[in-house]
Chain A
């Protein structure tokens, strides 16, 4: 048996069924008597509902908020404990008002989805349109239309954090920019979907749903439906990607579950791509007005920022409307050591669907804002952008390091990661090539960005936010089966992470059992210990840690029985290679298991009555999070005639601590980077001034495909976390954080000879040509139109 333990590039166990089409996703589930739901959604962004007209022949199959109210169904509320937070109540079906295009208004049921849609098409909405908040900055204005009538403005939350900012203001170098990230859509291959029925034998609502957080969904459903949690079972079958979109309790889930209880037969809703794009999976939209201060030799002295997040209409459950802004304010300084900082944040309610946390969450935005400004500071100081970073990055001898917002960096050598990235992309050779010029007339540019990824952050972080879900100890239940196999039960869920393999590798390292004999059971509240689920790059740290601790306890139980079977003392045996080894012999775990289950007459008289099944909990020594990090570097070619961008080379040097399965990590990093390339160059969910989403298919919403993602050159460093089992760090989101900053820095480097630069995602051909035209106009001293504010801002 080849080694299968921690650090091995073991093939993923789950891929056999996925590659053969034998996985089971929600839409694959068939049940006798199951009927389909289609929703009537709001066609407008903001309106008062005057009437919902349902034709007489469909009255029995159409449901509105009036039906829900009779059952006492509660809206979804995701409050925080942050001072000044304003609460929103997201109705399951719209009541009185609609606040975004796509909001649920009525639910129609039929034998098939097509027939349900036919019914939905007959429902007439009489709506009185209201003024629309279509842009977050417009929403901040005092005279903006009001989304939530009881609020004095449209702000879920404002925060302000300031340290010593006045000291920076006399800095000799100062750069101010307006920087924006477009609203995006998370695009897992599988959309959301739910099948629900009422089990009359168990008196239990059974819910199959495509989620990352089955236990959180269970709590949320129980709260909205007024059921004891024991009467709700949530099953997440195979989940085809999540990225955060499946870490949210949807109104559709509540509505369908309620309907299943009413109707007494299975009910399902399978999200289609139009619903997914226009009404549900939105994310990312930030705006920064940011100033960087530096000394004349390029030492970063301070960052001052006014950050706005377009939070959409409601606070989403469980992460709330303020996760993004909370991260922005606290993680903007990143791994840089500088003395002055100020950041105000505004979480603005707008007439758009709620913004949801997407892989990287606020980290992608702050990395973009900060790293773009750092490049401009470096250019003003007359040094290479990487040189400015080298002067200011936290040094390894400072570890562990508390940065200016008291983020606790556990370990790492950030300058070394950047040094390696610069060396691999070979900046000096690129500078020579730029001086020579390109035969095809394109302009090449190089960009770098450094990121950090706070991951697996726990109680101390989330208790401060006070959102509906605060992670505590993570648990794993382990059971040796009578034939000597191992079952691992965890409450987190895999939506592509490969936990069925990597957690088996952890157990293999501890017990030596072949991973083919180790089965990971997850995604079912009935069979697994409570968990806040899979989010925040936490599973390997938290569930992996719990599996490790549970293995230790299982090993103690096996040792006790095994030692008795070997006629020796417990303290003289160890668990190695799937057996209990003593000084004079060994006994396989399968024999120990057989003794416990099948021939208990042979057990030692003082055997642990708990047997070979244990539940152990785990938390790292510090729960403020691990900090994976890395440096990205890109070489791009920009065509100044067409505005097209080609990525010629892409280098990542990243440090995720101990890598349990480096191949799985590589896959995570590649996938995240592809998404980051989407953020940088392709993806944009625009809204017009009436709040209408402008993309409703993948013909309008562009995702990078195989031909748009270059071969990424990935290098690993391995600095252990001092706080976790094996020194692992969370890495799940890492790839999606730095690419927008890296690529746009590279594009701006390419455009420097033309005097053009961009501070927005995505960098489209049109925007590049616009920036070039703007630069040409500037050269001719033509006044800058104010609508192109992002192009040229105050420079001192």
Chain B
């Protein structure tokens, strides 16, 4: 399959990107790593009039370490994180997540911003960055705003971005040295999208306790203050956690069993 005809613009600054993507008379798609959009174009599942390539905007490819974390440009790739080209503030947690994304060829081109904006619930960053407590900086025709990662995705393949809005960067907060991170992903084969993914972050020094159940059929379940889901020894309160799935309207008992297995194991890993 080959894509339907489209126009292509490569921009070198954010302002131009906003100006091109805010048009509502035509269908405009932002092109970054092209690891999801590319196949969709080839299958003609999406037929945009205009593609705006943002990978040549210098500030979107930069990573800047500050005292309380690191600011990562939207076009930073998974392999940039995997290989340590981006300063790690998570005690190795996110480089390990990056290493488990799809295949190396995908990681070489796929971007953090693209993955978040594509909003596939089975993708890695939508859940793990929410688990890490990351925030996204959005710029657009009417200025900028900052929201939590979990607020970006509104539902499956849907995000809180208006015409001309561009995800510019992701801020990843610095974990304490004593932070404990548990991540468990279930898929049938290496490189496949996840069927379940759970994250537990225990960082008492910062008074952070987060829990994520991802790769469901809906947006990830993110509990930003998850203290109530653990007992005093730090053990997961399983039946209380299972209620999260019910409350989210997830009723497939077998799928829920797998989600709970992932969550229990993530909690165990956070205890190690």
A766 interfacial contact with B, CB 8 Å: yes
CB contact between B43 and one of A682, A697, A764, A765 (< 8 Å): that residue:
A697
The A-contacting residues of B in range 184-199, CB under 8 angstroms, are: 186, 188-193, 195-196
Contact check, A642 vs B258: say whether CB atoms are below 8 A apart.
yes
- Closest beta carbon of chain A to B169's beta carbon, Å: 28
The A-contacting residues of B in range 21-71, CB under 8 angstroms, are: 39, 43-44
B254 interfacial contact with A, CB 8 Å: yes
Which residues of the other chain, A, contact B258 by a CB distance below 8 angstroms? 641-643, 765, 769
A126 interfacial contact with B, CB 8 Å: no
CB contact between A682 and one of B188, B257, B261 (< 8 Å): that residue:
B188
B249 interfacial contact with A, CB 8 Å: no
Contact check, B193 vs A699: say whether CB atoms are below 8 A apart.
yes
Q: Considering the chains assembled together, what is the distance between the CA atoms of A706 and B104 in angstroms?
A: 14
Which residues of the other chain, A, contact B192 by a CB distance below 8 angstroms? 699, 702
- Closest beta carbon of chain A to B107's beta carbon, Å: 15
With CB as the reference atom, state the residue of chain A lying closest to B252.
Answer: A766
Contact check, A766 vs B254: say whether CB atoms are below 8 A apart.
yes
Which residues of the other chain, A, contact B264 by a CB distance below 8 angstroms? 641
- Closest beta carbon of chain B to A533's beta carbon, Å: 30
Contact check, A697 vs B39: say whether CB atoms are below 8 A apart.
yes
CB contact between A121 and one of B4, B190, B196, B253 (< 8 Å): that residue:
B4
Interface string of A642-669 (1 = CB under 8 A from B): 1110000000000000000000000000
Contact check, A274 vs B188: say whether CB atoms are below 8 A apart.
no
- Closest beta carbon of chain B to A683's beta carbon, Å: 11
The B-contacting residues of A in range 681-717, CB under 8 angstroms, are: 681-682, 696-697, 699, 702, 704-708
Which residues of the other chain, B, contact A14 by a CB distance below 8 angstroms? none
Which residues of the other chain, A, contact B193 by a CB distance below 8 angstroms? 699
Contact check, B189 vs A274: say whether CB atoms are below 8 A apart.
no
- Closest beta carbon of chain B to A688's beta carbon, Å: 18
Which residues of the other chain, B, contact A121 by a CB distance below 8 angstroms? 4, 44
Q: Considering the chains assembled together, what is the distance between the CA atoms of A644 and B187 in angstroms?
A: 9
Given the contacts A113-B2, A121-B44, A766-B254, A644 and B39 also touching, CB distance less than 8 Å = no
Which residues of the other chain, B, contact A641 by a CB distance below 8 angstroms? 257-258, 261, 264
B1 interfacial contact with A, CB 8 Å: yes
Which residues of the other chain, A, contact B261 by a CB distance below 8 angstroms? 639, 641-642
Which residues of the other chain, A, contact B87 by a CB distance below 8 angstroms? none
Q: Considering the chains assembled together, what is the distance between the CA atoms of A272 and B43 in angstroms?
A: 10
Q: Considering the chains assembled together, what is the distance between the CA atoms of A485 and B39 in angstroms?
A: 49
Contact check, A118 vs B254: say whether CB atoms are below 8 A apart.
no
Given the contacts A644-B186, A705-B190, A773-B253, A765 and B2 also touching, CB distance less than 8 Å = no
- Closest beta carbon of chain B to A679's beta carbon, Å: 14
- Closest beta carbon of chain B to A268's beta carbon, Å: 14
Contact check, A272 vs B254: say whether CB atoms are below 8 A apart.
no
Q: Considering the chains assembled together, what is the distance between the CA atoms of A118 and B4 in angstroms?
A: 7
Contact check, A702 vs B257: say whether CB atoms are below 8 A apart.
no
B173 interfacial contact with A, CB 8 Å: no
Contact check, B189 vs A705: say whether CB atoms are below 8 A apart.
yes
Interface string of B182-217 (1 = CB under 8 A from A): 000010111111011000000000000000000000
Given the contacts A113-B2, A114-B2, A274-B43, A702 and B254 also touching, CB distance less than 8 Å = no
Contact check, A117 vs B189: say whether CB atoms are below 8 A apart.
no
With CB as the reference atom, state the residue of chain B lying closest to A116.
Answer: B2
Contact check, B191 vs A705: say whether CB atoms are below 8 A apart.
yes
Given the contacts A118-B5, A121-B4, A769 and B257 also touching, CB distance less than 8 Å = yes
Contact check, A704 vs B186: say whether CB atoms are below 8 A apart.
no
Contact check, A696 vs B189: say whether CB atoms are below 8 A apart.
no
Which residues of the other chain, B, contact A118 by a CB distance below 8 angstroms? 4-5
A770 interfacial contact with B, CB 8 Å: yes
Q: Considering the chains assembled together, what is the distance between the CA atoms of A706 and B189 in angstroms?
A: 10
With CB as the reference atom, state the residue of chain A lying closest to B47.
Answer: A121
The B-contacting residues of A in range 725-780, CB under 8 angstroms, are: 764-766, 769-770, 773
Contact check, B188 vs A114: say whether CB atoms are below 8 A apart.
no
- Closest beta carbon of chain A to B100's beta carbon, Å: 12
Which residues of the other chain, B, contact A682 by a CB distance below 8 angstroms? 188-189
Q: Considering the chains assembled together, what is the distance between the CA atoms of A696 and B42 in angstroms?
A: 12
22 of the cross-chain contacts (CB-CB < 8 Å) are: A112-B2, A117-B1, A117-B2, A272-B1, A639-B261, A641-B257, A642-B261, A642-B262, A681-B188, A697-B43, A699-B192, A702-B188, A702-B189, A704-B189, A705-B189, A706-B190, A707-B190, A708-B189, A708-B190, A765-B258, A769-B258, A770-B254
- The 4 A-B residue pairs with the shortest CB-CB distance in the complex, in nearest-first order: A114-B2, A641-B261, A707-B190, A769-B254
**B residues apposed to A, CB below 8 Å:** 1-5, 39, 43-44, 186, 188-193, 195-196, 253-254, 257-258, 261-262, 264
Q: Knowing that A114-B5, A642-B258 are A-B contacts, what are 14 other residue pairs whose CB atoms are under 8 Å apart, sorted by A's residue number?
A: A113-B2, A117-B4, A118-B4, A121-B44, A272-B1, A639-B261, A643-B258, A644-B186, A699-B39, A699-B192, A702-B192, A764-B188, A765-B195, A765-B258
